[in-house]
Structure 1
């Protein structure tokens, strides 16, 4: 089949009437779409919950460990007896 034949066949398909849609297709699409939206919403809420939990865990860890404080020096012994 040459390019010209393929173009002609494609034009005939596009110019013709579209095939009939099954009557129960709309109901099935709405059902699947609403299920997909519920799943996305649940996943989004779960991700926010995990993010908030991670922030809380990090804040508690940072408050107890205090990583910004410099640890005491252990290389020089304390000077006593002056």
Structure 2
């Protein structure tokens, strides 16, 4: 008997056996944990939206005060005076 046939026999034995008993409170525990995960994800999503909104507001305030799209005045040549 080679090793692969021994593995196949072990797998067949496991599949033919009855499934192990499941704890009776498994469903309620899974629902409780799942609800907690959903609430945590919703809270993280709200915080991330708030952070994104705050970043957009900060950028808009900075852009409106600094006006980075306006070309700065040229200071390479001195002003002409006394002509």
- TM (normalized to structure 1)? 0.90
Q: Which residue of 2 aligns with 1:50?
A: 51
Question: What is the CA deviation profile of residues 24-75 of structure 1, one whole-angstrom value per residue up to 9, with x for unaligned ones?
Answer: 1111111011001110110011111100110010000000000011111111
Q: In structure 1, what is the Cα distance between the partners aligned to 2:72 and 2:16?
A: 79
Deviating more after overlay: 3-12 vs 58-67: 3-12
- Which structure 2 residue ranges, 5 or more long, are not aligned? none
- RMSD of Structure 2 on Structure 1 (CA): 1.4
Which stretches of structure 1, 4 residues or longer, exceed 3 Å deviation after superposition?
none
- TM (normalized to structure 2)? 0.89
